[in-house]
Amino acid sequence: MAEIILEGVTKRFPDGSLAVKEVDLDIADGEFVILVGPSGCGKSTTLNMIAGLEDITEGTLRIGDQVVNQLAPKERDVAMVFQSYALYPHMSVRENMGFPLRLAKVDKATINSKVEEAARILDLTEHLDRKPANLSGGQRQRVAMGRAIVRDPKVFLMDEPLSNLDAKLRVQMRTQISRLQRRLGTTTVYVTHDQTEAMTLGDRVVVMRQGLVQQIGTPAQLYDLPRNLFVAGFIGSPAMNFVNATLEGAVLHSPLGDLPLEDRTRQSLERQNAPRDVIVGLRPEAFEDAALSTERGRSGPVFTATVDVLESLGSDVYVYFTAEGGSVTTAELEELAADSGMRDTGSEVQQIVARLDAATRAREG
Ligand code: ATP
């Protein structure tokens, strides 16, 4: 079993800065967990403490059934993949991948068969005799993965392994890593600042900010039930919109119009003793072209907005706009009515419908 358990794990650097504050985290055997958050939030420091590259100031770290606080990195049976790949330029792919096994004094025949097996999984067989300089970025990245795989470690730790790749390759590699992790079933902790990567890769995602864990959950839990405004605004692309509103019975009075509450939501707010003044979070997909909405017999408050930018992605259209008296800035519309006139970026006034049933509620946490 290679579960990873952090209890009250804290990191204070010698200069006094508190980088990670009392993190509690239970990672199950075989789980793929992502640490995500803005730059400087403490995700790499947390990963480095698990790897043994940084001391733990306070708290307990367990890997499997062993407390590893005092163990050196090589005694923890973890393999790390870095953003820089850290390949040796003078070694071939085969030698790079086999290096950790050579260090561990594994015999040549075993090294060869393990390297060849990893190369097959990673589609690197035909490149085994090349040097890193003669490989593409994606291939180098796979060699770095291969070097981690051959050791068959208890745990994989990955620190932004895709950030040196272009956008398209990143998406491809994301799928590969996800498949590979499922196939090997190795407990994996993966650091990224990219929320899309976090949401698509992880069984669970840990959102961090200023050294503190903000929320731990499945991608769906973070998206649908963010615990505070930070998580609500951080998860989702384009980001959630926030508007101030006043709660009165079953209605939220907002600058966009009156948003009726479902019974379930109203009851939940009552249970929480929600204050009268609240912040409502509306995902971009909670908006709809007003003309189409009417055509389809759907209702919701209609408001006018000045379109700042239109981005057409083929299947969806992102509309960045300023609502009358409101701070809403993005809508993701499935389609536009033929006569909506909203075809060009400009400053035309357009009608958009907001619908709370598709929205997520956020409260200050
Ligand atoms: P990034 O995405 O930019 O890598 P991160 O979330 O991984 O950020 P960390 O590298 O873990 O953040 O850093 C967390 C905090 O600790 C930051 O404020 C950073 O400045 C500080 N820090 C990191 N290393 C040291 C160090 N050796 N000495 C002092 N402070 C440090």
Domain count within the chain: 2
CATH code assigned at 66: 3.40.50.300
Give the integer Cα–Cα distance in Å for 84 and 199: 23
Query: Does residue 45's CB lie within 6 angstroms of at least one atom of ligand 1?
Result: yes
pTM of the model: 0.88
Among candidate residues 195, 216, 233, the one where a domain is terminated? 233
Give the model confidence (pLDDT) of 305-322 as tens digits: 788 887 877 777 888 888
- Would you say the CB of residue 40 lies under 6 angstroms from ligand 1? yes
Q: Are residues 68 and 37 in the same domain?
A: yes
Q: Are residues 171 and 313 in the same domain?
A: no
**Same domain for 265 and 220:** no
For residue 358, pLDDT over 70 is answered with no
In angstroms, what is the span from residue 191 Cα to ligand 1's centroid?
13
| Residue 48 Cβ contacting ligand 1 at under 6 Å | no
- Determine the residue of 44, 160, 214, 234 to mutate for testing ligand 1's pocket, defined as the one with the most ligand atoms within 8 A of the Cβ atom: 44
Q: Evaluate: CB of 17 within 6 angstroms of ligand 1.
A: yes
Measure the CA–CA gap between 194 and 201, rounded to whole angstroms: 11
Residues 221 and 303 in one domain: no
Is the ipTM higher than 0.90? The answer is yes
Same-domain pairing of 59 and 199: yes
Q: Are residues 49 and 186 in the same domain?
A: yes
Question: In this structure, which residue's CA is closest to atom 1 in ligand 1?
Answer: 39
Number of the ligand 1 atom closest to the C-alpha atom of 42? 11
Taking the centre of ligand 1 as the mean of its atom positions, its distance from the CA of residue 262, in whole angstroms, is 43
Cβ-contact 324, 303 below 8 angstroms: yes
Structure tokens given for 353: 């419908």
Centroid of ligand 1 to alpha carbon of 34 (angstroms): 17
Work out the average pLDDT over 77-103.
91
Task: Tell me the CATH number at 331.
Answer: 2.40.50.140
What is the model's pLDDT at position 355?
64
Same domain, 210 and 256: no
The verdict on 258 and 279 lying in the same domain is: yes
CB of 16 sitting under 6 A from ligand 1: no
Mean pLDDT computed over every residue of the chain = 87
pLDDT in the model for residue 347: 46
Please tell me the distance between residue 85's alpha carbon and the centre of ligand 1 in angstroms. Answer: 19
Domain with 257 in it: 241-361
Q: How far is the CA of 12 from the centre of ligand 1 (A)?
A: 11
Q: 80 - beta bridge partners?
A: 157
Task: HSE, CB side, 13 Å, CA atoms: give it for residue 34.
Answer: 28
Return the pLDDT at 360. 42
Same domain, 351 and 281: yes
* Best probe residue, ligand 1, of 23, 39, 45 (max atoms within 8 Å of C-beta): 45
What is the model's pLDDT at position 1?
Answer: 67
Mean pLDDT of 144-173: 88
In short, whether 13's Cβ falls inside 6 Å of ligand 1 is: yes
Confidence of residue 325 (pLDDT cuts 50, 70, 90): low
- Write down which residue in 166, 201, 233 finishes a domain: 233
Residues 314 and 172 in one domain: no
Nearest atom (ligand 1) to Cα of 20: 14
Q: In ligand 1, which atom is closest to the CA atom of 41? A: 6
pLDDT band at 286 (very low <50, low <70, confident <90, very high): confident
**pLDDT class of 326 with cuts at 50, 70, 90:** low
Query: What pLDDT does residue 321 have?
Result: 83
One domain, residues 87 and 12: yes
Q: Are 202 and 245 part of one and the same domain?
A: no
Q: For 11-69, write each residue's pLDDT tens digit.
A: 999 999 999 999 999 999 999 999 999 999 999 999 999 999 999 999 999 999 999 99
Check residue 122 and give its pLDDT: 85
Mean pLDDT of 158-167: 86
pLDDT value at position 63?
A: 96
pLDDT digits (tens, 9 = 90+) for 234-278: 999 888 888 888 999 888 898 888 888 888 888 888 888 888 998
- Count CA within 13 A, CB hemisphere, residue 202: 28
Domain stops at, among 173, 201, 233: 233
Mean pLDDT check: name the lowest of 4-13, 28-37, 118-127: 118-127
Cβ contact 351:291 at 8 Å: yes
Distance (Å) from CA 185 to ligand 1 centroid: 30
- Structure token pair of residue 126: 């035909």
Give the model's pLDDT for residue 83. Answer: 82
The response to whether residue 170 sits with its C-beta less than 6 Å from ligand 1 reads: no
For the stretch 255-280, what's the b/e string if a residue is b when 16 or more beta carbons lie within 10 angstroms of its beta carbon?
Answer: ebeebbbeeebbeebeeeeeeeebeb
Banded model confidence at residue 337, pLDDT cuts 50, 70, 90: low
